[in-house]
Structure 1
Amino acid sequence: MAEASFLALGDSYTIGEGVPEEGRWPVQLVARLREHGVAVAAPYIVATTGWTTDELSSAMDAAGLHGKYGLVTLLIGVNNQYRGRSSVEYREQFLALLERAGKLAGDSRRVVVVSIPDWGVTAFAEGRDRAAIGREIDAFNAIAHDETHRAHARWVDVTTASREAGARPDMLVDDGLHPSARQYGMWVERIFPQALAAVRELPG
């Protein structure tokens, strides 16, 4: 059986800022899928710390992505929120990315959208308005959830997991902001069922 190709699109959370390669959640996800007998290739990751929606789009252009992927994941938006960019702009640009992801997957049901985690609960956010950060993250996630549902793609909430992890040292890397491999493992528990359905339920 041919391996399903896997494209992971995002920012620092997808590239795994501060964790070794094997700790990144897309890499952990592949290991989990393989444990369940799913033939899936190592992830091709298009993600860099700090990217916003438009920067990810430009990077996708530069990467010259083409063909059909068996699984595409998309997690983007925290830097839009961090930089104070508008929710109206986010909806427009997120939707464009989601449409591109669906085309690359050949079927929107092969696209798994992962929610934006809440960095307002981390040690890095000490002294900031944590409640306001949480509200803004929720607003961006509501947009992403709405557009994901409309596109018939798959949605996974990891925001709850990030809030459960909070500022615990074992759940963050040394910068006090980005998740540790252990926290990413919590995310994979939530992402795995949708990723499994995406690669198993649809014809190649």
Structure 2
Amino acid sequence: MKIIFYKLLFSTLLCFFYSCSASEDYNTDDLQDPIDNSKRILSLGDSYTIGQSVCESCSFPKQLKDSLVNNNDGVTFELNIIAQTGWTTSDLISNIVSENPSNNYDLVTLLIGVNNQYQGAPFSLYESEFPQLVQMAMSKVQGDKTKVIIVSIPDYAYTPFGQFSGDPSLTSTEIDMYNAFAENYCNENNITFVNITDITREGLNNPDLVASDDLHPSELAYTRFVERLLPLAIEKIQ
């Protein structure tokens, strides 16, 4: 009887040992690092970036964020905007330096220059500071230029305000000069440049593209910006 008892006890202990070992091995193999389902967007610019005179959720960065959410199930998006009405390239540079955003963003947009033109700053200032801003934008995505989108400057000459502010044809010519410089720089450095200026040049024929202040793009105009930006943004955040 004792022999049978000890055999049973030994068998029980052996089963218990292997059961525990199997369980521990399973749990160890099954452990995985948590998946990070969050993405971070940084938008740099001026009044066109904050969405002057449209609703809080109507600016192109916020519409872009919402569209990305709708196209990426289970992924959360955080948006940080460094922009203010009236900012020139110099203002944007100093505010990026002072705010010092982190360098772990997944996407950066940059739209800047209209206030350099409107305030009559020397074009040479844009020629020197625009490349600096592109480099600053790249630094916020760990130097990965494929995660940067440069957006062209809208043409406010095609708004009621623009028609009575200076010479509209000169405004358009100067904005073309700014955009040509930015696009050429982007092309030479393999950086994505998205032209939305043509959309804003429909403003006189389609008043729905102009905000209530008769100057800035409307929610509809920003929606059309996003239609061009979204496919590129989806590709860049993968």
Same fold (TM over 0.5): yes
Deviates more, 1:102-111 or 1:125-134: 125-134
Q: Which residue of 1 aligns with 2:89?
A: 53
- The change in CA–CA distance for 1:60 and 1:167 in structure 2 (over 3 A counts) is farther
Alignment of 1:115-194 (within 5 A): 115-127=152-164, 128-166=166-204, 168-194=206-232
Q: Which residue of 2 aligns with 1:33?
A: 68
Q: Which residue of 1 aligns with 2:32?
A: none
2:64/2:230 contact within 8 Å kept: yes
Shift of 1:167: 6.1
Q: Which residue of 2 aligns with 1:65?
A: 101
Q: Which stretches of structure 1, 4 residues or longer, exceed 6 Å deviation after superposition?
A: none
Bigger RCO of structures 1 and 2 (CA < 8 A, at least 6 apart): 1
1:101 aligned to 137, 142, 153, which one?
137
Question: What is the letter of the counterpart of residue 23 of structure 1?
Answer: C
Q: Distance in 1 between the 2:197 and 2:224 partners?
A: 11
Q: Which residue of 1 aligns with 2:18?
A: none
1:114 aligned to 127, 151, 165, which one?
151
Shift of 1:40: 4.8
2:39/2:78 contact within 8 Å kept: no
Q: Distance in 2 between the 1:31 and 1:103 partners?
A: 25
Deviation string 1:160-189 (CA, Å, 9 cap, x unpaired) is: 111123363322222100111111101111
Deviation string 1:123-173 (CA, Å, 9 cap, x unpaired) is: 101233111111100000011111222332211001011112336332222
% of aligned pairs identical? 38
- The change in CA–CA distance for 1:16 and 1:119 in structure 2 (over 3 A counts) is same
Q: Distance in 2 between the 1:63 and 1:150 partners?
A: 29
1:85 correspondence with 2:150: no
Aligned residues: 200
Q: Distance in 2 between the 1:16 and 1:50 partners?
A: 12
Q: Distance in 2 between the 1:53 and 1:9 partners?
A: 10
Q: TM-score, normalised by structure 2?
A: 0.80
2:51/2:58 contact within 8 Å kept: yes
1:21 correspondence with 2:46: no
Deviation string 1:84-136 (CA, Å, 9 cap, x unpaired) is: 11222101100000001111112011000000000011110123311111110
Q: Distance in 2 between the 1:125 and 1:167 partners?
A: 14
- The change in CA–CA distance for 1:100 and 1:40 in structure 2 (over 3 A counts) is farther
Structure (1 or 2) with the larger CA radius of gyration: 2
Deviation string 1:13-71 (CA, Å, 9 cap, x unpaired) is: 00000111110111100111122116352310000000000100011011121222100
CA-atom RMSD, angstroms? 1.4
Q: TM-score, normalised by structure 1?
A: 0.93
Q: Distance in 2 between the 1:150 and 1:59 partners?
A: 27
SS in 1 for 2:82: strand
1:117/1:159 contact within 8 Å kept: yes
Question: What is the letter of the counterpart of residue 153 of structure 2?
Answer: I
- The change in CA–CA distance for 1:163 and 1:40 in structure 2 (over 3 A counts) is farther
